[in-house]
Amino acid sequence: MRQFKIIMLSLLALFITLLHAVPFYILITTALKVQGDFSSRWTLPDYFTLENFAIAWEQANLGPAMINSVLITGGAALLLIFFGSMAAYPLARKNTKLNKGVLVFFIAIMVVPPLTALVPLYQFVVDIGMLNTRTIAVLMNAAAFMPLAIFLYSGFIRSTIPKELEEAARIDGASTLGIFFKIVFPLLKPVTASVLIVACVFIWNDYQFAIFFLQDSAVQTLTVTMDSYFTENQHNLGLVAAAAMIAMLPMALMFLVLQRYFIAGLASGAVKG
């Protein structure tokens, strides 16, 4: 009886898996069909060609866009780790009135929808001459995810880093920054992994900031490039599907290889928060 129940539940899991795989299956069948092939999206073609991938790669500017996405995601991640962990340290350790207020400020920012800030920000970015620069995308994304990073870091420092280590170093005459970077920061690796994984996925996939601030094709990220490629090729969706698969590939590979960390990072972030 118990065995039967396990089999039924496993079948249910199989059904859920197949159901969730359908959109990816449709994406693949579409990407493999050449222009003019209007056969059902549910069937695979009876020929094999990667023509769509070659054309999409050439037409859609995906290479430079990928480099822009890497640079922006990497830059924002560096700022998040460096300034985020540094900011979290006093907020976790020094319970002064000022620090409590600053922590509330960061939490309040998390609730403020960035899109309300986007309209006035656009003119500001134009005024300081930073429209269509990768720098502005790095700064915007770092600002948007800074509260989350600080939240995760300060929770981790408070709950898992022993104070005694720092006190011992202080008696030995180490400076605050020295203590932070030599003693505390190396111990933050697990939470740094969480911050990286959560923030990188969202920054890599960001469309809303990018569509406001990166309109020039030289600085466009993958999402903005995909947006214009879709508009140009609404009647040749095979190319769009192929381009979408190429654009998804870096993150998908990273996810499949580092899956354990993705899931552990998200779960620990949620439990600690």
- Map the footprint of another protein across residues 11-50, applying CB under 8 A: 12-14, 16-17, 20-24, 26-27, 30, 38, 40-42
Range 114-123 burial, b when 16+ CB lie within 10 A, else e: eeeebeebee
Nearest alpha carbon to residue 195 among 245, 246, 142, 241: 142
Choosing from 123, 165, 175, 257, the residue that interacts with another protein (CB under 8 A) is 123
Choice between 219 and 240, CB closer to another protein: 240
Min. distance of Cβ 217 from another protein in angstroms? 17
> Shortest approach of another protein to residue 55 CB, angstroms?
17
Residue 208 interacts with another protein (CB under 8 A): yes or no: yes
Alpha-helical (H) ranges within the chain are 2-31, 51-59, 62-93, 97-111, 114-127, 134-160, 163-171, 176-179, 185-187, 189-204, 208-213, 222-232, 237-257, 259-272
Examine residue 239 and tell whether it contacts another protein (CB under 8 A): no
Q: Is 86 among the residues that bind another protein (CB under 8 A)?
A: yes
Task: Pick the binder of another protein from 52, 53, 55, 84 (CB under 8 A).
Answer: 84
**Position 182 contacts another protein (CB under 8 A):** no
User: Does residue 150 belong to the site contacting another protein (CB under 8 A)?
Assistant: yes
What length does the chain have?
A: 273
Residue with Cβ nearer another protein (33 or 219): 33
- Residues in 91-120 at the binding interface with another protein, rule: CB under 8 A: 91, 93-96, 98-99, 102, 105-106, 109, 111-120
Integer Cα distance of 84 and 180 in angstroms: 13
218 belongs to the binding site for another protein (CB under 8 A)? no
Say how far apart CA 224 and CA 212 lie, in whole Å. 10
How far apart are alpha carbons 162 and 271 in whole angstroms? 19
Residue type, 135: T
Which one of 6, 36, 164, 186 is in contact with another protein (CB under 8 A)? 6
- The Cα-based distances of 165 to 85, 154, 171, 202, 273 in angstroms read 17, 17, 10, 35, 24
We find the least distance from the C-beta atom of residue 172 to another protein, in angstroms, to be: 19
Binding status of residue 188 toward another protein by CB under 8 A: no
Contacting another protein within 52-71 (CB under 8 A):
none
